[in-house]
């Protein structure tokens, strides 16, 4: 996956990966997460933004139209998002997996972890290439 490789090798993502997305305005979800690097396994705190099927991250929360993301994950490439405390032996950990890679994240609380899992999961369903618009489930509807 090219964007994961670029993020791991500290190359900025290709602007085509996020063109047309106003990530600085009204994100579906935004907040701090600690992310593990793919190749250099250090943990770094980054500001994450989920918008229009892209999970983008930045060094700080002052995101404007001129900000350049440090990385981008197209959620349409993601297969699963789930808790990963048992894998990492760290509280509030979760993972996002594609067919080729798994990225690990740590939220600041159990609620933040669950909110991120739900938001990314909903986005995966909405942007999956195998799901038509009529099949998208709205998880926020109270029954």
* Percent of all residues in the chain with a pLDDT value above 70, rounded to a whole number: 81
CA–CA separation, 78 vs 8, rounded Å? Answer: 17
Residue 89 makes CB contacts below 8 A (sequence gap 6+) with: none
Residue 88 makes CB contacts below 8 A (sequence gap 6+) with: 36, 104, 106
User: What are 91-116's pLDDT values in tens digits?
Assistant: 999 999 998 889 999 999 999 999 99
8 A C-beta contact, residue 50 and residue 119? yes
Report the pLDDT averaged over residues 77-97. Answer: 96
CATH numbers and ranges of domains, the chain: 2-135 (2.30.29.30)
Q: Residue 140: pLDDT band by 50, 70, 90 thresholds?
A: low
This prediction has a pTM of 0.80
Host H or E run for residue 112: helix 110-127
Q: Shortest CA distance to 74 belongs to which of 19, 36, 25?
A: 19
């Amino acid at each position: 996956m090219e964007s994961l490789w670029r993020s791991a090798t500290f190359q900025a993502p290709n602007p085509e990966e996020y063109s047309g997305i106003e990530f600085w305005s009204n994100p579906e979800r935004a907040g701090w997460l600690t992310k593990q690097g793919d190749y250099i396994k250090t943990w770094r705190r980054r500001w994450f933004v989920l918008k229009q099927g892209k999970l983008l991250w930045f060094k700080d929360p002052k995101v404007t139209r001129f900000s350049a993301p440090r990385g981008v994950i197209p959620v349409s490439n993601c297969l699963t998002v789930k808790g990963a405390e048992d894998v990492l032996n760290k509280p509030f950990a979760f993972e996002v997996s594609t067919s080729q890679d798994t990225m690990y994240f740590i939220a600041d609380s159990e609620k933040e972890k669950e909110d991120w899992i739900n938001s990314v999961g909903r986005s995966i369903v909405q942007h999956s290439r195998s799901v038509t618009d009529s099949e998208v489930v709205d998880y926020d509807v109270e029954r």
